[in-house]
Amino acid sequence: MTRTRYSTVAILLHWTIAALLVWAVLLAWSAEDLKGMAKMVPLQLHKPIGITILLLTLARIGLRFVLPAPPMGEHLKRWEVILAKSVYGLFYLLLLLIPLLGWATVSASALITRFPIDMFGLFDWPVIQPLFDLPAELRHTRHEQFEAAHKLLAKVVIYGLIPLHILGALKHQFLDKDNELAKMIPFLARKDSAA
Ligand code: HEM
């Protein structure tokens, strides 16, 4: 039978990742306003949240192979399908790359032994050993490069993908009134619709 909405696990993963993403970004922004070691308070929470996003995104991608996404509405124009698929694909890619770059940034940081990636008091997430083992000067250069890439890609998500994704969802809900959003928010499903 063809699915008319995402599976419950996919819906839970989608909204958990979205909430964690907002939380990670707010913590990172609050760190920017702080000076010196005070920055480390929000950043110490930012790190395990980011690692959790990495793990949940891997689970989300794995789940897509087991339970494929419901098909896109046949009424959608070609450009809409291409745009939507590109945004989804980029989301998955960047939600893997950004936390990996964050992990690389802190693995190459001189502060990692004082401020490990503490997974909510449960255990310390390991460092990427080859980065940790680099000679001090090269390690510092790599740290700066990974941090710059981490921040740049985070901006692409915050100012590019998230607004596009939300605008697309609102267009379907209020202009097209085509029930696409109900695939991810089941209680929005219109009773008069077949989907
Ligand atoms: C999807 C997950 C993540 C998102 C969306 C994210 C997003 C961000 C953002 C928006 C910033 C601030 C950018 C700016 O100042 O312009 C930031 C900074 C930072 N992130 Fe992440 N991040 C994620 C995962 C991680 C992970 C897993 C780690 C490390 C384990 C990490 C470590 C850092 C560090 C150390 C900084 C701050 C650097 C500084 O200002 O000194 N991030 N992140």
Amino acid (one-letter) located at 10:
A
- Strand segments, DSSP code E, in the chain are 117-118, 124-125
Please state, in angstroms and rounded to a whole number, the distance separating the CA atoms of residues 106 and 101.
9
Angle between the 136-156 and 78-107 helix axes, to the nearest 10 degrees?
A: 150
**pLDDT of 16 higher than 70:** yes
Residues flanking ligand 1, CB < 6 Å = 21, 24-25, 28, 31-32, 43, 46-47, 50-51, 53, 95, 98-99, 102-103, 105-106, 117, 147, 150-151, 154
**pLDDT of 190 higher than 80:** no
- The reported pTM is 0.93
Please state, in angstroms and rounded to a whole number, the distance separating the CA atoms of residues 162 and 59.
20
Angle between the 8-32 and 40-66 helix axes, to the nearest 10 degrees?
A: 160
How many angstroms separate the alpha carbon of residue 68 from the centre of ligand 1?
31
Mean of pLDDT values over 23-31: 98
pLDDT computed for residue 195 by the predictor: 37
Please state, in angstroms and rounded to a whole number, the distance separating the CA atoms of residues 143 and 149.
10
Among 51, 145, 150, which is best to mutate for testing ligand 1, by the most ligand atoms less than 8 A from CB? 150
Mean of pLDDT values over 44-72: 94
pLDDT tens, residue by residue, 67-90: 888 888 788 889 989 998 999 999
Among 94, 151, 162, which is best to mutate for testing ligand 1, by the most ligand atoms less than 8 A from CB? 151
